[in-house]
Structure 1
């Protein structure tokens, strides 16, 4: 029985929402509805075993990762916020990586900036990392993130931005502390504490050109919204609203997290991940062939790799490469 269920809903480069599908834990008579929703959102992908260049990082086949979850071992998730349009697959304009370690009672969370220049695995090109999804869907996006981090990722969650506003509204909105005043989408966001509905939360998390930190500032706002939604979802117990959330999830989310894993995360992990450590990936802008990219140098990639390795360190079991 499994899993901390987290899913993140993000918009066009924007706001992340991670909600515990485990909200059903408040009302087990909704078990059938939760199971049906889990079946709708479950979408396995072709799994490859990423082997890191770092000999200290174990390679984990998917079946091994699933077995370790039962024993409350660390796991990692890449959350893709996708802006899909008619006749257009869209791009993963938001990529957030979560590394969960119950022994450390913590989650490491960071955005990979959408304009990051990297090799697109399986496409034979070097491009912006958010193009990987457009070229090859979830599988290519996940493989590209693994290559960029030089670290295997256990699970993915893909969320369509269309459900973003609805989920925020169902939860009653989010509260944020805006560091500076700005105008975006015909709305003025004043400095200081703000209560945002779904539409405003989406706008708030999209803006970057007026942010003195650019994409890094936008990523910080995404993480703020994510944190607030996580807090709200863990306290949520309105049965009628839970049913609305489940309906929304069924149309907005896809993941290779199974129903049993969701139950385990909810029942076994929930109390162990109270500390969320949010970090940033730094880089410098560069124009190559008239296209602007964020260049993340070797030292920064190694720093993030080491943070992942330290967070995912498992003091109980070492998994041998296949």
Structure 2
């Protein structure tokens, strides 16, 4: 029994040292947590260690207790042993349960490369995954499957953007396309380019948001060798529209955010105008389910967060305004998932995440993706380019794809220049102004954000701050909806 105790103490010491090493390297932690095999091994090992510890405690008590104990002393001793076994085994049991849940989540989200087929996913070299890839492009789609919509996850991808990431510096450009972009073209080398030589046309509106469902339905024979027909179709469309090769997709069910936000205890966002819950402009019943009041740092539950993301009834900027809010909500969820919340509500959060996300990223590519995420964090440059109907010549009904290719390439180059300038050695003393190098004028501060301009990159964080916006249309907002009164330092709100 003594030897067994020494062995267990040695194993615990080794595990403790390994834990310190892992926690000091967040990327290693994330990479390990996403590996199903590792997490199952850890879960089983924790159960075994807990069982052995309980055996050692009980065995030691039975062997070493005096034979002359009274009944009262035996009772006290038994209670003490029970408490000690609980104190030792409970944390290990909880850790084991979390490990099993993580393994289940990872297995559900990230299948094995050998057990899934994709016509668009890259094949990576194990030794240096990004050796031959200057950029990795990940399609991020938001599926809106609310009331009155198809129930299959993501059959209407109302939010579509692509993260274009430099594999060396981590500099990232988010390319955001509107759902109502009409007649999108496909990658020239894709089978859909031959099927739709003049651009996607489903006999209806021919929107980009319809490609996921309608293209595979119209030409099922082109998708027999893939488990992701809708994703492959949309990836080919993004390649044609942006001129950039798409490697992976991640689909987020916007309505699935309700469970996730509730599991997190709510999420805090800036609400720039009273947001209508329910209703539509065509029916004239905007806000039939209520309103989300305006104001900075509003704490929303799951249902309100869902309406914040998908309401279009009185949204300034129409679809573009909704696209912007959805980006802000996703950013807020990521930023506010603090460790304390993750620990206390881990199983609920894991279940909600499993119901919300679909992707073709396989288990075998996770370590490389996690490493890439670390480079993005280290690079610290994330810009966005959005194409907005009626601004800078962009027309959703007749997009100029050659011009879009040029603007996206220019935005990628500008993002690269920004991260290179950020990482360049800074002079110890500022250079004096000369006739050739005049001092730059001080930036002009403004209380209102600039209008979104198609073809120009903007910093993502800037678009999610609080700034009052006038709601679209003349919808009656009940007097019961609180009116936010800003302090003197903020722009005055126009009364409704």
What TM-score do the two structures reach when normalised by structure 1?
0.71
- Cα distance in structure 1, aligned partners of 2:386 and 2:307: 21
Matching residue within 132, 139, 146 for 2:211: 132
1:75 maps to 136
Structure 1 contact 23–242 (Cα < 8 Å) conserved: no
In the comparison of the two structures, how many residue pairs are matched? 279
Q: Give the whole-Å Cα distance in 1 for the aligned partners of 2:301 and 2:378.
A: 30
After superposition, the Cα gap between the structure-2 partners of 1:104 and 1:209, relative to the gap in structure 1 and judged at 3 Å, is farther
Contact 2:255–2:306 (8 Å) recurs in 1: no
Cα distance, 1:242 vs. partner?
A: 2.4
Residues 284, 296 of structure 1: 8 Å contact kept:
no
1:209 and 1:66 map into 2 onto residues whose CA distance is: 49
User: How far does residue 228 in structure 1 lie from its aligned partner after superposition?
Assistant: 0.9
Give CA deviations for 1:259-298 in whole Å, capped at 9, x if unaligned. 343344446633425443233212339xxxxxx9544334
Gaps of 5+ in 2: 1-25, 43-94, 187-191, 217-229, 279-288, 421-496
Distance in 1 of aligned mates of 2:240 and 2:273: 36
Query: Deviations along 1:185-214, whole A, 9 cap, x unmatched?
Result: 222222221211121111112223423311
For 1:67 and 1:118, how far apart are their aligned partners in 2? 41
In the other structure, the counterpart of 1:11 is none
Residue matched to 1:16:
none
The answer to which structure, 1 or 2, has the higher relative contact order (CA under 8 A, 6+ apart) is 1
1:188 alignment partner in structure 2? 291
Asked if 1 retains the 8 angstrom alpha-carbon contact of 2:144 and 2:310, the reply is no
- Residue among 108, 116, 119 paired with 1:47: 119
Deviation at 1:118, TM superposition (A): 3.1
Q: 1:73 to 1:151 in 2, by over 3 A?
A: closer
**Aligned: 1:230 with 2:318:** no
Seen in structure 2, the aligned counterparts of structure 1 residues 93 and 22 have a Cα distance that, compared at 3 Å, is farther
Deviation at 1:45, TM superposition (A): 4.5
Alpha-carbon shift at residue 240 of structure 1 (Å) = 4.2
Confirm whether residue 215 of structure 1 aligns to residue 319 of structure 2: yes
Q: How does 1:95-174 map to 2 (within 5 A)?
A: 95-101=160-166, 103-119=168-184, 121=186, 122=192, 123-124=195-196, 125-126=200-201, 127-135=206-214, 136=216, 137-174=230-267
Larger radius of gyration: 2
**Deviation of the 1:37 alpha carbon:** 1.8
Superposition TM-score, scaled by structure 2 size = 0.48
The unaligned stretches of length 5 or more in structure 1 are 5-19, 49-60, 286-291, 316-322
Distance in structure 2 (CA, Å) of the matches to 1:175 and 1:117: 35
More helix by share: 2
Q: CA deviation at 1:169?
A: 1.7
Partner of 1:35: 103
Structure 2 counterparts to residues 189-268 of structure 1, below 5 A = 189-193=292-296, 194-233=298-337, 235=339, 238-266=342-370
